[in-house]
Amino acid sequence: MTTDKDHIKKSDAEYEIDTLTNKKLLKDHEYDGIRELDNQLPSWWKWLFIITIVFSVVYLIRLWVFRADDLIQRKEFDKEMANAKANAPKVETIEIALLTDATSLANGKETWTKICAVCHLVDGGGLVGPNMTDNYWIHGNTIEDLFNVTTTGVIEKGMISYKDQFSVRQRLEVTSYILTELVGSTPAVAKEPQGELYE
């Protein structure tokens, strides 16, 4: 097998022509029958290469000479955090009191299932964290007590603080859900009581 002999034309002493594309074949360039054409680099390709080189030089100069803020990740981060702070909505001042409306409880249930159930189980029976269905409490049984535990956590025992993850309203919703729906229900498997009995 060699490069298609039928499509080669000798033009003059120097070059042969590939008749299918009408381009010059290089003399003496034949490797196991493979020939090479003497085509120039496509000019769009050259431009593409040049543009990427210019881009690169500008990029490096912006970083190394001008220390451009958007190329220094520490500064980018500070800016992002500052922006978030500036745009943060005002902290809502809501009273810490049991919520009983259906929407709040539904929202509370959603947070419970997605986040808290990992340790307390969906039905509140308790696993890593204590049982929420009985009337035994380590930190008290009022809505304020539950809200405070959820807010500050009990870090050394493995209950983390949800202050930065959930808004005040969300924390209130989920703790209201515990008190109204979980307490008094019957879980599949109940963890043994922890804390003191509240009547």
Q: Which residues here bind another protein, judged by CB under 8 A?
A: 1-4, 7, 18, 20-21, 25-26, 28-29, 31-42, 45, 48-49, 52-53, 55-56, 59-60, 63-64, 71-74, 76-77, 80-81, 84, 87-89, 114-115, 117-119, 122, 127-128, 155-158, 160-161, 164-167, 170
Site residues for ligand HEC, 88-147, by CB under 6 A, read 111, 115-116, 118-120, 128-130, 137-139, 146
Nearer to another protein, 25 or 105 (CB): 25
The answer to the question of residue 191 lying near ligand HEC (CB under 6 A) is: no
Rg of the Cα atoms in the chain: 36
**What number of CA atoms fall less than 13 Å from residue 130's CA on the CB side?**
21
Binding residue for ligand HEC (CB under 6 A) from 99, 143, 159, 182? 159
What are the tokens at 123?
Answer: 């039905």
Q: At 181, give phi and psi (nearest 5°).
A: -105, -40
What's the CA gap between 83 and 87, in Å, rounded? 6
Taking the alpha carbons at both ends of the chain, their separation in whole angstroms is 96
What are the tokens at 24?
Answer: 């010059």
Smallest gap from Cβ 92 to ligand HEC, in A, equals: 18
**Is the distance from CB of 19 to CB of 8 less than 8 angstroms?**
yes
Smallest gap from Cβ 128 to another protein, in A, equals: 5
List, as one string, the DSSP characters of 61-110: HHHHTT--GGG-HHHHHHHHHHHHHHHPPPPP--------SHHHHHHHHH
Q: Which does 37 bind (CB under 5 to 8 A by kind): ligand HEC, another protein, none?
A: another protein
Binding segment for ligand HEC among 3-11, 14-22, 27-35, 155-163 (CB under 6 A)? 155-163
Nearer to another protein, 93 or 199 (CB): 93
Binding residue for ligand HEC (CB under 6 A) from 23, 67, 157, 163? 157
| CA nearest to 124, candidates 177, 172, 199 | 177
Q: Point out which residues bind ligand HEC (CB under 6 A).
A: 111, 115-116, 118-120, 128-130, 137-139, 146, 149-150, 154, 157-159, 162, 174-175, 194-195
